[in-house]
A and B are shown apart, each in its own frame.
Chain A
Amino acid sequence: MTEAEHSRLLYWAGVALGPLAWGINLQGVYVFAHFSCETTKTSGTILSVLLVIVALAGTAISARAVRRSAGAEWAEVQGGGPRTFMAWVGVGSGVLFALVIANQLAASLMISPCLR
């Protein structure tokens, strides 16, 4: 596989999209909480669900990269397959940060945004 084909696989997507989605969710809902109490629950829920999807999309893209090119490298205990390695880290990263966003969504559903 050529360098250009490798770069199109975006094996690092999960590493980037997971934390990015979580960062936007954290700041977004925190900002909403300051400005409103009536509509935060709905807007926060929509935001969090969308960002869970973004984080999981990162996982899916990284998983696709593993399936397309990197599977064989994974079996090598001695290393030497950095793209596959980063793709697997991306798979885990997307799932982990989707979990964090979902946990924050649960918190925002349980607590009234009007509570001060």
Chain B
Amino acid sequence: MSMAAEPRELRDDVLNGLQLSTQLERVWRTPSGFLGALMSVDHKVVGRRYIVTAFVFLLLGGILAVLMRIQLAGPEKTFLSADKYNQVFTMHGSTMMFLFAVPVMEAFAVYLVPLMVGTRNIAFPRLNAFSYWMFLFGGCFLWISFALNVGPDVGWFAYVPLSSLQYTPTKRPDVWAQMITFTEVAALAVSVEIIVTVFKQRAPGMTLDRIPLFVWAMLVTSFLVMFAMPSIMVASTSLILDRLVNTRFYDSSSGGHPLLWQHLFWFFGHPEVYIIFIPGTGMVSAILATFARRPVVGYPVVILSLIATGFLSFGLWVHHMFVTGLPQLGAGLFTASSMLIAVPSGLQIFCWLATLWDGRPVYRTPLLFVIGFVVIFVLGGLSGVMVASVPIDTQVHDTYFVVAHFHYVLIGGAVFPLIGAVYYWFPKIAGRMLSERLGRWNFWLAFIGFNVAFFPMHILGLIGMPRRVYTYTADMDWAHLNLLSSGGALIFALSFALLLVNVIYSLRKGELAGDNPWNASTLEWATASPPPPQNFDRIPVVKHRDPLWADNESLPVVAGLSAERREVLLTSLAEAEPQIREASPEPSIWPLLTAIATTVFFIGSIFTPWAVLWGTPPMAVALIGWFWPTGSKEDEE
């Protein structure tokens, strides 16, 4: 690689071995101390925080689920009041969708994508830190509100007119709407970073058809986030405006329309399902290839499926609105697309089955979770094709059949691959293996508990049990199935407790992992476990779709990047040919301060429109501080 020489600058081509590692670690490390931790812009540090925080929200959301199942375990129970139950199911849905499912997928991407594409940090690392703080503050805002009995109680989709000021004159819907703004800002920021990292920071030689499937999945997901999230931000902001300054977007008596809310919400809400599911498919592809001991069959077919699913996900939203009185022709069109999205999903399933069939599978815990995913997701897909049909949907709308369906899709499609991914990548992140024995117990408890909890809900829905009821009478004949479902939910919850025990135990006493304990093929396994601050001492050169299987002993590298300041290599979009060296930002406290100022602005603006006025100057000051020229070399480049 030829690069313009700069006098007396120390480059990584004049250092070797330990000397190079030490020098790069000094340049790339996160500053020590509490303040240093707050300033970190290392994608691994931010990614770890994101993952842990998202799992804390999973735990909180899971506790709410258990509370609901205790309440519904028998008829006319008084464990939760009607008002508390409304808050609990709203908090459960909002937490799982906005504070767990989307963030945890992006969190894995923040940690893994730079490693998998062979670069030293994510693009826009300060934006990455800002994104995490916004996510954390948004989640805390929601949960502190709940603790103060101001938790939202209007469902995770907050339909108007229920969420309008007239019918809910408390601050509960405002809390929900502004939490959305927090988490969407965070998600959009991460999406921008992922897209730029994948397009411009891939290792030399990693052409479009050598990108790992997990990275492809996160690239497609990031585009989905960028096109879907603005819709919900418009919706939540206009809802706040309706409630705060009487703008009447959704007031039919003043020319507004409640259905506008549903269109805006579901234009985001349906792609949201795929924003959660597509990363899961990427995890499945990564795990399958490693444990089947062969590359995934039909690499281009899988990518075609990812792209097609991404596009089609924007054409299904009306199937959530079949009972709103839309023209039947319109409903028919959306039925057609809803059924056709099964085609790309089916193609992927067949590619994965063929990979297992043609491989030499090693049934370790991550692969067990992948097999669990295939079984559960196919069942969820089948009930999905059922509810895509207008006549069936009209019958089961707002019943427990739909609750069963979307839990099969979301837990099967995303949580099972995710837990498999935890077992798969934990050794890379922590440097130690998770216990295989506890892992197998974890899988079987999760698989059995999940099916016992959610399969009876199909039947409950078909015999007429509606969603969101806090209790039911004994003469409805729903008690036995509800008790069974609650029992399954407790077993399912136990499986997560076991995962937590496994993580805590293995962090201290787990077997040391080494660089590549699974003999996997992608670049994150080419560096130490856990990776050093600089990720790689020298940037790898990729000559094969499975670089570590092709060049296991001597992975070619490229040299010439600075060893005295943070620098990444930018490459071309299609061919990944080296183009320029780019300075990577130093640690900074300004992303945190900007997030604090934005938080004050967001929370204030649900109480008074004046917050927009007095909330802006602190944000402006923080942003000026963020972008203020520091005189460091990064500004001279």
The interface of chain A, by Cβ under 8 A from chain B, is: 15, 19, 22-23, 26, 29-30, 33-34, 40, 44, 77-86, 88-89, 92-93, 96-97, 99-100, 103-104, 106-108, 110-113, 115-116
Binds A, one of B158-166, B308-316, B392-400: B308-316
Given the interface contacts A78-B543, A92-B304, A97-B308, does A115 sit within 8 Å of B328 by beta carbon? Answer: yes
**B344 adjacent to A80 (CB under 8 Å):** no
| Cβ contacts under 8 Å, A85 to chain B | 207-209, 300
Contact of A100 among B303, B304, B340, B544 (CB under 8 A): B340
Residues A93 and B330 in contact, CB atoms below 8 Å apart = no
- Structural contact, A33 and B208, CB atoms closer than 8 A: no
Q: Are A80 and B332 in contact, with the CB atoms below 8 A?
A: no
Q: Are B336 and A80 in contact (CB under 8 A)?
A: no
A contact residues around B113 at 8 Å (CB) = none
- B-chain residues with CB within 8 Å of residue A84 when the two chains form the complex: 209
A104 touches B333 (CB 8 A): yes
Contact B328 A112 (CB under 8 A): yes
Contact B550 A103 (CB under 8 A): no
Chain A CB within 8 A of B237 CB: no
User: Which chain B residues in 315-346 approach chain A with CB under 8 Å?
Assistant: 315, 318, 325, 327-330, 332-333, 335-337, 339-340, 343-344
Query: B residues touching A (Cβ–Cβ < 8 Å)?
Result: 205, 207-210, 295, 299-301, 303-304, 307-308, 311-312, 314-315, 318, 325, 327-330, 332-333, 335-337, 339-340, 343-344, 543-546, 550, 574-575
Q: Is the CB of B327 within 8 A of A106?
A: no
CB closest chain-B residue, reference A78: B544
Residue from B209, B314, B336 in contact with A79 in the complex, judged by beta carbons closer than 8 Å = B209
B328 engages A81 (CB within 8 Å):
no
Q: Which residues of A contact B339 (CB under 8 A)?
A: 103
- Which of A78, A107, A116 has a CB less than 8 Å from the CB of B550? A78
**B335 to A, closest residue via Cβ:** A107
Distance (whole angstroms) from the CB of A97 to the closest CB of chain B: 7
Give the 8 A-B residue pairs with the shortest CB-CB distance, closest first.
A85-B209, A115-B328, A107-B332, A82-B208, A79-B210, A78-B544, A19-B311, A33-B329
- Kindly list chain B residues whose C-beta atoms are within 8 Å of the C-beta of A34: 327, 330
CB distance from B328 to the nearest CB of A (A): 4
B209–A113 contact, CB under 8 A?
Answer: no
Which residues does chain B contribute within 8 Å of A19, judged by CB atoms? Answer: 308, 311
Instruction: Choose from B295, B303, B335, B574 the contact partner of A83 (Cβ within 8 Å).
Output: B574
Which residues of B are found within 8 Å of A116, using beta-carbon distances?
Answer: 325, 327-328
Residues of chain A within 8 A of B575, CB atoms compared = 82
> What's the least CB distance linking B163 to chain A, in Å?
26
Contacts of A111 in B (CB 8 A): 328-329, 332
- Are the CB atoms of A100 and B336 closer together than 8 Å? yes
B572 CB → nearest A CB, Å: 10
For A115, list chain B residues within 8 Å (CB). 327-329
**A104 and B546 alpha carbons, distance in the complex (Å):** 40
Give A89 to B344 CA distance when docked, in angstroms: 12
Complex Cα spacing A34 to B328, Å? 10
A106 CB to nearest B CB, Å? 7
Return the chain A residue nearest B303 by Cβ. A89
A22-B312, A88-B300, A106-B336 known, 6 other contacts, Cβ within 8 Å: A26-B315, A29-B329, A40-B329, A83-B574, A104-B333, A107-B335
A sample of 22 inter-chain contacts (CB < 8 A) reads: A19-B308, A23-B311, A29-B329, A33-B329, A78-B543, A79-B207, A79-B299, A79-B544, A80-B207, A82-B575, A93-B304, A93-B308, A96-B304, A100-B336, A100-B340, A103-B340, A104-B337, A107-B335, A107-B336, A108-B332, A111-B328, A116-B327
Q: CB within 8 A of B332: which of A22, A86, A110?
A: A110
Cα distance A93–B343 in the bound complex, in angstroms? 12
Give Cα A93–Cα B550 distance, bound, in whole angstroms: 30
* Contact present for A96 and B344 (CB under 8 Å): yes
Q: Is the CB of B210 within 8 A of A80?
A: yes
* Among B295, B304, B335, B574, contact of A89 (Cβ-Cβ < 8 Å): B304
